[in-house]
Structure 1
Amino acid sequence: MLNTVYRLVAPRTFEPVVVSQDTAGKVVVRPTHLSICNADQRYYQGTRSKEVLAKKLPMALIHEGIGRVVSDDTGTFQPGDAVVMLPNAPVETDEFIAENYLRSSRFCGSGFDGFMQETVVLPPERVVGLPQDVNREVAAFTELVSVATHAISRFDAMAHGRRERLGVWGDGNMGFIVSLLLHLRYPDAKIVVFGRNASKLHDFTFADETHLVDDVSGVSLVDHAFECAGGEGSVAAIEQIIDRINPEGTVSLLGVSENNVPINTRMVLEKGLRLFGSSRSGRDDFEATVQLYRDHPEVLEYLAALVCSVSEATQIADIAAAFESDIRKPMGKTVIQWNL
């Protein structure tokens, strides 16, 4: 089958290329809604190192997306089914290491073509069915929600049982999603969110407490914490977490930083803290997330608050326009209605 792939060939420059793909034993999906991630922006703007750009480009961007099944050689799906596409492509299994941590796994939009294609050809295990009536604009960033699902499942397995106060540092997209999922997963716990922007914190209507990070002196300590700040905010967030967490608490690190982050290991040792990182997600996390959509349809209503803008792409110029608009957004997700 011939397929058109829309690749980033240089910062801010997209070009179409026609490739031949084998569909035997695969599911052919027509993307309908794609969502831009900060990682996509780093490639688009060329803020990654020259060595990384030279190694990974040209490459189709975007690893968050949904679509409709065009055909399925395996009979797993029917034409027209709404599905979410899984970007992680493991080539092996390991008894102890999850698919998203195997160094051999391939990841769409990070060294391998992402979902900016006319059609996406995937093995059936890299596709998960969606409810037919799901909000497509929200479902577009199911991958991001699945990362939060993954982090919380790891926390659930690692943390001790006192979970009366759970703290989340970060008032951006990941902080919003993690806080929301914690609220649903642990209804008896108090969800306490720490952020820098008062107007963003106002959107965390499901949280029990919200606090600005520069005014926490009278705030009770938390039992466990999730760091969702990322970037330059990681340093201050981790420092404050170590200060504001009870002994033997667990700290989940989700924020991505391009630079090394110093950590006060003296207090980590004194308090007996456990720090662990979470990145990406696997099929189990996607399935759990879609099941969450079915069991708690209100979660989609909450997540709809993160849809900042929706742009239609019918030509290459529209792709660049969507990325440029995404740069200027105050918060939330830029969704592309994909019609190329």
Structure 2
Amino acid sequence: MINQAYRLIAPKQIRTDFVDLPIDDENVVVRPTYLSICAADQRYYTGSRGRVVMKQKLPMSLIHEAVGEVVYDPKGEYDVGTNVVMIPNTPMEKDDIIKENYLRTSKFRASGFDGFMQNVVSMRRDLIIPFHVESRVAVLLELTSVVMNAVENFKLEAHERKDVIGIWGNGNLGFISALVLKKSFPDTKVIVFGVEEHKMAYFSFVDETYLINNIPEDLRVDHAFECVGGRASETAINQIIDYINPQGSITLMGVSEKPVAINTRMVLEKGLTLLGNSRSNYDDFKKSVELMEKYSDVCEYLSTIISEEVVVQSIEDMHRAFDDDLNNDFKTIMKWEI
């Protein structure tokens, strides 16, 4: 079957490539319906990943956050038109200890091989999950699953005193982290710390919010989630170290392209635990689907961080979506009609 893949070939240059899409008795063919732009996609699109990385990765279809509808299932397990979320992490082996999203052999869409900016995608059936919520909100399942991965890790590693949890960062990741934590620990006080005051109004479901330059001196948290990333993560992590109680855990989620300096002296003095988290797996997606389907208010809250929906019917529309995203407060999604 001939498929069309829309590949980034250089910064801000997208080309249509005609590629062969193998059809076999196992994989399910899915047509993307909604795609969501991530900061990682923007780093490729704008060329900020650096010349060496860009040369290694391109040409490549972007986007790893997507939902779609089944157009062909050779086994007939899924009806045509079934809405499914597509899991971008593709494990190549199984380990009894290491989660598949941390295995170095796993492949990840839009990071080394084609993402979901295609007409149709051939998916292993263990990498799709049906859902029954609005697709334009379900497209946020991938980011929700990343948070779910971090929260599940937090449950396993953090000590039992969880009276106060602080979240540094009031962007997309911070918003979804706060939402999942409030549902996971309803009796815990969740506090969000950020730098953009106008965004704080979106966090109506948390207990308190503070700008990072206006935190009460006596405020303390038992555990913290760092959702900042980039160079600013250095400031965020060190501020967390100042405000966290001894033997608390710091869940690191923000991605930084360059190393950041951390106050290890106080990490040692306070006996802190730093938990690294990245990506997600099938179980995380499954729990995220269950979360959205169980709590209607979760979908309502998530819909508020969709800053713009761009109908994509051409490559020009793709460029517009990526360009607009740079100026949007929260998520830019693409309704895929190409």
TM range (shorter): over 0.9
Determine the structure 2 residue equivalent to 1:19. Answer: 19
Alpha-carbon distance between aligned partners in 2 of 1:112 and 1:174, rounded to the nearest angstrom: 24
Alpha-carbon distance between aligned partners in 2 of 1:48 and 1:198, rounded to the nearest angstrom: 29
Alpha-carbon distance between aligned partners in 2 of 1:172 and 1:71, rounded to the nearest angstrom: 37
Determine the structure 2 residue equivalent to 1:176. Answer: 175
Q: Aligned AA for 2:320? A: A
Q: Aligned AA for 1:225? A: A
Q: Does the CA contact (< 8 Å) of 1:234 and 1:255 recur in 2? A: yes
SS in structure 1 of the partner of residue 61 of structure 2: coil
Alpha-carbon distance between aligned partners in 1 of 2:135 and 2:76, rounded to the nearest angstrom: 24
Alpha-carbon distance between aligned partners in 1 of 2:245 and 2:28, rounded to the nearest angstrom: 48
Determine the structure 2 residue equivalent to 1:74. Answer: 75
Alpha-carbon distance between aligned partners in 2 of 1:62 and 1:74, rounded to the nearest angstrom: 28
TM-score (norm 2): 0.98
Question: Does residue 127 of the first structure (1) align with residue 125 of the second (2)?
Answer: no
Alpha-carbon distance between aligned partners in 1 of 2:232 and 2:30, rounded to the nearest angstrom: 38
Determine the structure 1 residue equivalent to 2:286. Answer: 287
Gaps of 5+ in 1: none
Q: Does the CA contact (< 8 Å) of 1:76 and 1:124 recur in 2? A: no
Determine the structure 2 residue equivalent to 1:334. Answer: 332
Mapping for residues 97-112 of structure 1, pairs under 5 Å: 97-112=98-113
Alpha-carbon distance between aligned partners in 2 of 1:270 and 1:151, rounded to the nearest angstrom: 25
Determine the structure 1 residue equivalent to 2:89. Answer: 88
Q: Aligned AA for 2:34? A: H
Determine the structure 2 residue equivalent to 1:298. Answer: 297
TM-score (norm 1): 0.98
What's the offset of the Cα at 1:219? 4.6
Alpha-carbon distance between aligned partners in 2 of 1:46 and 1:266, rounded to the nearest angstrom: 36
Gaps of 5+ in 2: none
Alpha-carbon distance between aligned partners in 1 of 2:82 and 2:223, rounded to the nearest angstrom: 40
Determine the structure 1 residue equivalent to 2:228. Answer: 229
Q: Aligned AA for 1:22? A: P
SS in structure 1 of the partner of residue 228 of structure 2: coil
Q: CA RMSD in A?
A: 0.9
What's the offset of the Cα at 1:140? 1.2
Query: Which runs of 4 or more aligned residues in structure 1 lie more than 4 Å from their structure 2 counterparts after TM superposition?
Result: none
Percentage of identical aligned residues: 47
Q: Does the CA contact (< 8 Å) of 1:253 and 1:277 recur in 2? A: yes
Question: Does residue 159 of the first structure (1) align with residue 176 of the second (2)?
Answer: no
Per-residue Cα deviation, 1:72-92 (whole angstroms, up to 9, x for no partner): 123331111000001010100
Alpha-carbon distance between aligned partners in 2 of 1:218 and 1:327, rounded to the nearest angstrom: 35
Per-residue Cα deviation, 1:109-154 (whole angstroms, up to 9, x for no partner): 00100000000101100101011xx122211121011100110000
Total equivalences in the alignment: 337
SS in structure 2 of the partner of residue 52 of structure 1: helix
Alpha-carbon distance between aligned partners in 1 of 2:284 and 2:31, rounded to the nearest angstrom: 23
Alpha-carbon distance between aligned partners in 2 of 1:55 and 1:73, rounded to the nearest angstrom: 35
Alpha-carbon distance between aligned partners in 2 of 1:75 and 1:240, rounded to the nearest angstrom: 54
Alpha-carbon distance between aligned partners in 2 of 1:159 and 1:174, rounded to the nearest angstrom: 20
SS in structure 2 of the partner of residue 318 of structure 1: helix
